[in-house]
Amino acid sequence: EAEVAQSPRYKITEKSQAVAFWCDPISGHATLYWYRQILGQGPELLVQFQDESVVDDSQLPKDRFSAERLKGVDSTLKIQPAELGDSAMYLCASSLQGLIAGGYNEQFFGPGTRLTVL
């Protein structure tokens, strides 16, 4: 069964350091999402890609976060410098395509990267 792959699964870093997370979506999925899930909260969308283009990055803290999906396949999310408040689970999801008129497009989630900033 096809799955969204993420690495690393766990990352511990000190504040002010740089961290990067990688996501490989399900093959053929054009849309890729990065969510952040703080402990005890639901996931919140950080950035959405359609192929290699950013569709929505309105909730991405652009002073320290960046995301790219250069070839429209896998994606990297970077934080530099990391802050204590960035400790969270970073989830990647993918879906087959963008909006379908009158239809539903399921988002499939990866296992996440749990980040701890000390």
Of 2, 8, 28, 41, the one binding another protein (CB under 8 A) is: 41
> What is the pattern of x (binds another protein, CB under 8 A) and - over residues 75-104?
----------------x-x-x--xx----x
- Is residue 56 part of the contact set for another protein (CB under 8 A)? yes
Torsion of CA 104, 57, 85, 13, to 10 degrees: 100
**Which CA distances in Å does 118 have to 19, 47, 70, 87, 91?**
13, 25, 31, 9, 20
- Is residue 114 part of the contact set for another protein (CB under 8 A)? yes
- Is residue 1 part of the contact set for another protein (CB under 8 A)? no
Single out the residue of 96, 95, 88 nearest to residue 116, CA to CA: 88
Of 33, 67, 82, 94, the one binding another protein (CB under 8 A) is: 33
